[in-house]
Amino acid sequence: MIYLDNAATSFPKPESVYQAMDHFARHSLANPGRSGHRMALASERILDDTRHLLNTLFQGESPDRWVFTLNCTDALNMAIKGLVNSGDHVITSDLEHNSVSRPLRALEKLGQIRLTRVESHDGYLNPEEVVAAITPETRLVVLTHAANVLGTVQPIEPIAHAVRAAGGFMLLDAAQSAGVIDINLSRLPIDMLAFPGHKALYGPTGTGALYVGPRVSLRPWREGGTGGDSSTETQPDTMPYKLEGGTPNVLGLAGLKAGLEWVLQRGVEASRIHEVQLLQTVVDWVSDHSDLWGIAGAWDPARHVGALSLRPPQGLAPSELGAILDTSFAIAIRPGLHCAPYIHKRLGSFPDGLLRISPGPFNTESDIDTFLSALSDITDSLI
C-alpha cells in the first residue's frame, strides 16, 4: 500500500515509536501514581517526560500547562466549552474542521453565543478581516493554523496580537501544523493550542494535548480520579490534573513521547519541506493536465503543509476515484468533505468534495510518480 493520507493519521510511524510502545506495554504499563509501586511510578514518569518534551518543542510557560487529551477534537471541545459563557461573541472561519465548527454551531443554535464566521480567500484568511470582526464582547477567536482541506498556512501572528490587545482569548487548532511548523508559545501570543498526537507528532491514535496558557482558567468537563489527590470533594484546581480526570492513555503517550523525540531530533521543518517538495510534483502534473484536473486553493510552497486537494475531471466523483485507487492500485488517499463542509461550500465542491493527497516523511518521489500514473490510467479509461 502506498499511503498518502497522513493528514488524517500519519503512517508508518518511526520505528522508535513501535519499539517504545512494545517495551512499555511489556514492562511498565500500569496506572500512573506519584506514590505507588515501581510500575505506577514508571507510568507517571512517561507523563512527566512527555509534558517536558511538549514544553521544549513549543516553548510553553511550563510543563504543567500541558493537558493530555484523547485527540484534537477532545482538546478543542475542552477549550471551547470550558471557556465561553452565555452571551459571549466568538469568531472563527470557514476553513475549520468540524471539531471547531460543530461545537460552536451547537452553542449558537442554543442561543448561548453569537458567532462570526470569517470567509477565506483562495484558502487564506485576511488578518484585517478577522481583526475587524472583533467587538468588545469577543471572548474567543478559534482558528485553524493550517487548513486540513487545502494545506494553506494562515497568518496567525497579527491576528493573535490583535486578540490579545482587545482582551480576548485565542485558541489555535494545530492539527495539521504541530510537528511540521515552528510554533513558539513564548513569542506567539495565543492562549490555547490544541493538536492530536497521531499526525505529525507520530504518536498513536488516542493521544493529543491542549496547552492552557496562564491567562486562561477552564472549567473541567471531565471529573474523576487524578492519581494524586483523592481527598477533595470536587476536581482539584491544580493544573494539569484539573482537566485530566480518569486514567490517561499511558501506552499511547509512551508512543507519543518517542514521536516527539523523533521530531526534535529531525527538526520541525524537515517533514514539511519534504512533503511540500513531493506535492510540487503533483502541482506540476496538474498544470500539465489542466484541461481535466485542478487544484483547490492557492499554491504557495512557503505557506503550505503537506496536504493538497485536487478537483477531478467532470463526471468523476472523488469517492469513486478513491475507491479505484484503493482497490486497483493499492494507493490510500482521502476523498470527500474532510469533515470541513464550510470550506467545501465556499469552493463549490459541496457535497461531493475533493480528492486530498497528503504525503508523509517516509513517502518518496516514486510513490508520487505511481500515484500520478494511476490518475492518468483512470482518466484515460473512464473519459
Instruction: Please write the tens of the pLDDT for every residue from 79-95.
Output: 999 999 999 999 999 99
Q: Which helix (H) or strand (E) holds 141?
A: strand 138-144
Residue 380 pLDDT: 86
The two beta strands, 354-357 and 308-311, are antiparallel
Half-sphere exposure of 246 (CA within 13 A, CB side): 11
Answer for the pair 211, 205: CB distance below 8 angstroms, yes or no: no
- CATH for 15-266 (3.40.640.10, 1.10.150.570, 3.90.470.20, 3.40.630.10): 3.40.640.10
Query: Cα separation of 214 and 65, whole Å?
Result: 8
Query: Cα separation of 114 and 88, whole Å?
Result: 6
Is residue 18 packed enough to be buried (19+ CB in 10 Å), middle (13-18) or exposed (0-12)? middle
Q: What is the sign of the dihedral through the CA atoms of 147, 99, 125 and 214?
A: negative
Residue 246 pLDDT: 87
**Cα Rg for the chain, rounded, in angstroms?**
21
- CATH for 267-382 (2.40.100.10, 3.40.800.20, 3.60.15.10, 3.90.1150.10): 3.90.1150.10
For the entire predicted model, the pTM comes to 0.96
Q: Which of 255, 229, 246, 261 is nearest to 78 (CA)?
A: 246
Residue 179 pLDDT: 98
Show the cell assigned to 224: 474523576
Residues 228-253 as b/e (b if ≥16 CB within 10 A, e otherwise) read eeeeeeebbeebbbbbbbeebbbbbb
Note the pLDDT tens digit of each residue in 292-309.
Answer: 999 999 999 999 999 999
Note the pLDDT tens digit of each residue in 9-36.
Answer: 999 999 999 999 999 999 999 999 766 8
Residue 226 pLDDT: 76
Query: Cα separation of 189 and 283, whole Å?
Result: 34
Using the structure block, give the residue that is written with the C-alpha cell 505507588.
36
Residue 236 pLDDT: 83
299: helix, strand or coil: coil
pLDDT tens by residue, the chain, 383 residues: 999 999 999 999 999 999 999 999 999 999 997 668 999 999 999 999 999 999 999 999 999 999 999 999 999 999 999 999 999 999 999 999 999 999 999 999 999 999 999 999 999 999 999 999 999 999 999 999 999 999 999 999 999 999 999 999 999 999 999 999 999 999 999 999 999 999 999 999 999 999 999 999 999 988 887 766 777 878 888 899 999 988 999 999 999 999 999 999 999 999 999 999 999 999 999 999 999 999 999 999 999 999 999 999 998 999 999 999 999 999 999 999 999 999 999 999 999 999 999 999 999 999 999 999 999 999 888 76
Where along the chain do its domains lie? 15-266, 267-382
Residue 6 pLDDT: 98
The two beta strands, 208-212 and 66-69, are antiparallel
Answer for the pair 98, 175: CB distance below 8 angstroms, yes or no: no
